[in-house]
Structure 1
Amino acid sequence: MYDGGEFNDVNRSFVNLSYTGIVVLLVTWWFRRMNFSLFVRMIPGMLTVIAAIILFYVGFVNIRGFEGAAYGILGFFLVIFAIISFIIAKSIGTR
């Protein structure tokens, strides 16, 4: 019986990616709400960009084919979450 194989693994990766992105956004929002310095508020976004670069590199150089492309897509979406995190961190917001 066919259980989905690689498709289930890639699908699970996208679900984990959305959890990771939501955690990054929530931590950034919490840092902004606690009035930390701009550098501290940007740390989650910077770590996310570093993780995305590493994922893209591993997918492009070490793992080839469809699974490598999945790593690249995950890295791309992590960069999108990082950009949103930077926007949240830089916004002043009114209280």
Structure 2
Amino acid sequence: MMLFAPFLASIVPGIIILLLTWWFKKKNFSFSVRLAPGIIGIVGAILLFYIGFVNIRGFEGIAYGILSFFLIVFAFVALIIGRKPKHTG
């Protein structure tokens, strides 16, 4: 439960981040707009880790750390999706 609850809580924002990045890429937005959801996701994950480590501590703080880890994974995937150029062929 300690691992699955933060993972399940990170799926919804992670899917939103991935869908936004994919939609921005599909609509041919600029490079910085395509990378924005991934960067915002990484900043949010770092903030969650900081809150869990400094303010909350203990087992609940570890849950925040696990949540931030999964959010960072989703954000890096979004950065990779947004970085690749769209093939128009």
TM-score (ref. length: structure 1): 0.84
Runs of 4+ in 1 over 3 A off after TM superposition: none
- Which residue does 1:68 correspond to in 2? 61
**Aligned counterparts, 1:34-45, within 5 A:** 34-45=27-38
Structure of higher RCO (CA pairs closer than 8 Å, 6+ residues apart):
2
Look up the SS of the partner of 1:29 in the other structure: helix
Give, in whole Å, the separation in 2 of the partners of 1:66 and 1:16: 16
| Contact 2:49-2:64 at 8 Å conserved across structures | yes
Q: Report the RMSD for the aligned CA atoms in angstroms.
A: 1.5
From 77, 81, 87, give the equivalent of 1:84: 77
C-alpha deviations, 1:5-61, integer Å up to 9, x for none?
A: xx59x72x4323101100100000000000000000011011101100110000000
- Which residue does 1:4 correspond to in 2? none
Look up the SS of the partner of 2:85 in the other structure: coil
Percent identical: 49
TM-score (ref. length: structure 2): 0.90
Structure 2 unaligned runs (5+)? none
Bigger-Rg structure (1/2):
1
* Letter of the structure 2 residue corresponding to residue 61 of structure 1: V
Q: How many residues align?
A: 87
* Letter of the structure 2 residue corresponding to residue 46 of structure 1: I
- Which residue does 1:54 correspond to in 2? 47
